[in-house]
Amino acid sequence: MSESQWTQQGATLSHKNACREFGFTEDEIFEAVRAGKLQYRQNYAHGNPYLKLLRSEVEALALELRGGKDLEAQKRKHELQKIDTEIISLKRRLASLERHKSKLLELAK
């Protein structure tokens, strides 16, 4: 793989995110790394080690292990989770803005 894939935004993901996004277990990821199916780079976040993987290889592994239908279903499930998280975040932000607005209106009286 070319060096640019490792630096391109969105082209890599951590092994933990690969587990969440594609429904793998950590053991499946580590076994694929040992078998040479996944290239990796070891990185650290706040002193904690993690494997950085190429998204294209993780998708190919998911397709190989689970098939196309399962991969699409897992992608939809993950996207729905992201949307739900964003909705919750926006609701919190809206509530915070409403409280701030009411305080400002009280001070304006």
Which tens digits make up the pLDDT trace of 83-97?
A: 999 999 999 999 999
Query: How many structural domains comprise the chain?
Result: 1
| Domain around 62 | 3-108
Q: For the chain, give the percent of residues with pLDDT over 70.
A: 98
What is the band of 37 on the pLDDT scale with cuts at 50, 70, 90? very high
Phi, psi of 44, rounded to the nearest 5 degrees? -135, 140
Strand order through the sheet with 48-54: 12-14, 48-54, 40-45
Alpha-carbon dihedral sign for residues 10, 15, 20, 25: positive
Cα separation, 59 vs 18, in Å, equals 9
Averaged pLDDT, 33-46: 94
Rounded to two decimals, what is the model's pTM?
Answer: 0.71
The answer, yes or no, to whether residue 78 has pLDDT greater than 70, is yes
> What is the predicted pLDDT for the residue at 43?
92
Residue 44 pLDDT greater than 80, yes or no: yes
